[in-house]
Chain A
């Protein structure tokens, strides 16, 4: 036991938790003794058990594997179960608030159904036909790229910070968000997938609205390089190939590497992007994803 943790035991934490619902709410302060080795979620749970039994909070694994406990800690989006108290300044009050990018249900729980609605719109993986008794052969280097995106724990922190959604509620109609660009990239780079989703990616999922601010990558608890490894290569493939199915198939088969992120990023200077968006908006599909019906109910 280190000396500082021994003194920490004496300390009182000032935890300011956001309490309220869709109608409104405010921060409520709870004073609770600090304990050794805790993460933010532990403290929230102790407050729940001792002072506020009806405090609403989502969690499951407490190990950073399920992506349930996303919140904003001192305004910074993070997983509560992976934020150690020792990394925060406990001399000052610590605020915990729900993700700002999604409508509030109650306390720290937000309505993330938007993401499930988008997920329903992504066309599924489509493998080639196998002959009887045949099995798929793939090389590790070829599966590596998609595997990176399959690490996603669907915490939706990237969706929460993306300004395209956060600042413009109506963009949700035409913009799928970084989590789904990672999903689309995963399918696009999947060595076996046979479906060309590039037109969809640009026209219905709004890839063009992303201007590579990288906020999503910075916040991803799984360290997925959403911008460099998913979005930029996707942009490249969508624009550069002009939906040429032959070239597309060629690349899938040869696994030709994409151009370097820097080279591609240069092509996505704000002016270029504005033009692209203009051109795109004509073809925009305006159906609003159903947030409650159509399968995933909550």
Chain B
């Protein structure tokens, strides 16, 4: 049997984005020996792409804001499919998490009286997002990165985890990975493992996600026997770049709309007024006159419809394009040039100015942007206990995008950065407590390690011509066309069949070259994860016969509160097959339910 580089720690954290590093800082502070492993270099995680801000009811701009309002906005945005307890903890704790970042050196933009400035965002009743221009994610990631470095956490960079390890009782007790640089195996023994691997966007063709968003954590959990929930709930961000082709999918921050940007079709019509659903009528402007006054006087006027929750805006854009009123490259126009001065735009949206200038040769202070929906975020994920972030398999924890429940069927902008701080910390505590209370040392099952290693290397022995890149593109086409923003039964059934065939293709992918820094091999391994996850998404989408948030069924265009509004779609492995079942949502206590009755 081969000897592998082996590390034994109390807590192993997979992923070095905001959630992973926040978890690491906490676990380490609790006295657990902690290691972080990540696929890229430290500080490159997808968290850097978050632009708009971090939502927290600090009440700096609107003193009437408090956790209850934030909680209510979050639940309503999530179409009540959220795990209420997660939404509650999130709303209650995010202000402290933001203030704590300042203790670690973060520098948010300020109000005139020197406090943290907050900006407006879709679905948030009050201006609530603490931000730094439009690079809040970078600020947050650097801050927790410096913190993690400061407390001396060991970081294993450019290392891909292939499978989790389990002990004789089925508890998770480690992981096996490969060093991307050398292709050698690395084995971790750990009493607790925290998944903080982010999202799944790479199973779609047009996505705002980086190459890392291949659903690794979702798949690792699934393969280790854990439950996933609501994997059909995927957010298509309404404003992604659509031109040039190579930049397609790249995000255009919602901050553009918060700061005055409006959506127009090819006829120059500000079309969002035609798409205000009953659910949001009471709080949305129905005339241009009213909407335009809101930017200056938020107290007396209702919000413009451009700031409806993301799912509503994405569907509206989709309808305009389908009706033939789209822009030349198949999207719609996002116009801030005619609304704000060039100076204002450059000051408030510097990264956007830069991004369009460099990539599309468009000056957003002069011309409108062409935008359309792009796969952005998965609300579904690993089923966790709200308080401890524990998954359904002992020893396993999950935080951030990889965890499900917090955002229900649709996530509000700004709630992701706060999510990863609140639940990153909680996962760190949960994992450390679990590890510190567990007696004895971790024993690694060498046979499991050996079979994982053998499996990972099998791609080099596969004969035939199947190429990882081609198989990945085929998967992306299937998902984009058949399990995209608008879904229907016949297409989902087709997708299920195609995925079955693709899964067989993915198994026989053959890798050329050697083990040292070989992206073809890494993709073959990532592809396994994406295959498993796309099946979960497709099954969930078939089973949820209603439209709710990020899941839209053409054949069931409205929500069905009596049946589907009360259940999570749970996917798990039964043998080698992904199975789906319905389970009731956790029930909200009466004192919180009242918050929703008062609102009417």
Contact = CB atoms under 8 A, between A and B. Distances in A.
A59 B42 contact: no
B497 interface: no
A97 to B, nearest CB: 16
Given A21-B516, A297-B154, A38 B244 contact: yes
Contacts of A64: 354-355, 358
A261 interface: no
A138 B358 contact: no
Contact of B153 (A136, A150, A151, A295): A295
A65 B517 contact: no
A54 B40 contact: no
Q: In the complex, which of the residues A61, A187, A192 has the most CB atoms of chain B within 10 Å of its own CB atom?
A: A61
A193 B358 CA distance: 35
Given A68-B41, A136-B102, A298-B181, A63 B355 contact: yes
B379 to A, nearest CB: 22
A159 to B, nearest CB: 14
B212 interface: yes
Interface residues of B, number: 72
A273 interface: no
A61 B517 contact: no
A125 interface: yes
A37 B139 contact: no
B210 A62 contact: yes
A135 B49 contact: no
Contacts of B108: 143
Given A60-B44, A61-B48, A84-B358, A37 B246 contact: yes
Contact of A295 (B146, B155, B467): B155
B44 A84 contact: no
B348 to A, nearest CB: 12
A124 B146 contact: yes
Contacts of B258: none
A67 B358 CA distance: 15
A147 interface: yes
A60 B210 contact: yes
B513 A143 contact: no
A138 B133 CA distance: 16
A35 B243 CA distance: 13
A137 B155 contact: no
A190 B518 contact: no
Interface string A40-66: 001000001110011111111111111
Contacts of A67: 43-44
Q: Interface residue tally of chain A, by bracket?
A: 35 or more
Contacts of B104: 125
Interface string B107-135: 11110011100000000000000001101
Contacts of B520: 48, 53-54
Interface string B336-379: 00000000000000010011001111000000000000000000
Nearest to A293: B154
Nearest to B520: A53
B211 interface: yes
A89 interface: no
B592 interface: no
Interface in A111-145: 112, 116, 119-120, 124-125, 127, 130, 135-140, 143
A169 interface: no
Interface string A62-85: 111111100000000000001010
A105 interface: yes
B156 interface: yes
A107 interface: yes
A65 B43 contact: no
Interface string B413-448: 000000000000000000000000000000000000
A290 to B, nearest CB: 13
Contacts of A53: 467-469, 511-513, 518-520
Given A61-B210, A64-B358, A139-B114, A193 B105 contact: yes
B38 to A, nearest CB: 10
Q: In the complex, which of the residues A35, A57, A62, A192 has the most CB atoms of chain B within 10 Å of its own CB atom?
A: A62
A139 B41 contact: no
A39 interface: yes
Nearest to A60: B210
Interface in A255-298: 295-298
Contacts of B153: 295
Contact of A82 (B107, B244, B358, B467): B358
Nearest to A125: B105
B107 A150 contact: yes
B490 interface: no
A29 interface: no
A192 B468 CA distance: 50
Given A59-B211, A64-B358, A36 B245 contact: yes
A21 B182 CA distance: 12
A215 interface: no
A297 B157 contact: yes
B109 A140 contact: yes
B40 A138 contact: no
A202 interface: no
A124 B103 CA distance: 11
Nearest to A136: B102
B157 A296 contact: yes
A67 B142 CA distance: 13
B359 A137 contact: no
B149 interface: yes
Contact of B154 (A125, A137, A150, A295): A295
B150 interface: yes
Contacts of B107: 138, 143, 146-147, 150, 190
26 contacts: A35-B245, A37-B247, A42-B246, A53-B513, A53-B519, A54-B518, A56-B517, A58-B41, A61-B48, A63-B250, A65-B48, A65-B135, A66-B45, A68-B40, A106-B181, A106-B517, A112-B41, A116-B42, A135-B99, A138-B114, A139-B110, A151-B135, A295-B149, A296-B154, A297-B156, A298-B156
Interface of B: 40-46, 48-49, 99, 102-105, 107-110, 113-115, 132-133, 135, 138-139, 142, 146-147, 149-150, 152-158, 179, 181, 210-212, 243-247, 250-251, 351, 354-355, 358-361, 467-470, 473, 511-514, 516-521
Given A49-B473, A140-B110, 20 more contacts: A36-B244, A39-B247, A42-B246, A48-B469, A48-B520, A59-B210, A63-B355, A64-B358, A65-B351, A67-B43, A67-B44, A125-B105, A143-B108, A151-B138, A192-B102, A295-B149, A296-B42, A296-B157, A297-B154, A297-B155
Interface of A: 21, 35-39, 42, 48-50, 53-68, 82, 84, 86, 105-107, 109, 112, 116, 119-120, 124-125, 127, 130, 135-140, 143, 146-147, 150-151, 153-154, 187, 190, 192-193, 295-298
In the A-B complex, the 7 residue pairs with the closest CB atoms: A37-B244, A54-B513, A125-B105, A137-B114, A53-B520, A124-B150, A49-B469
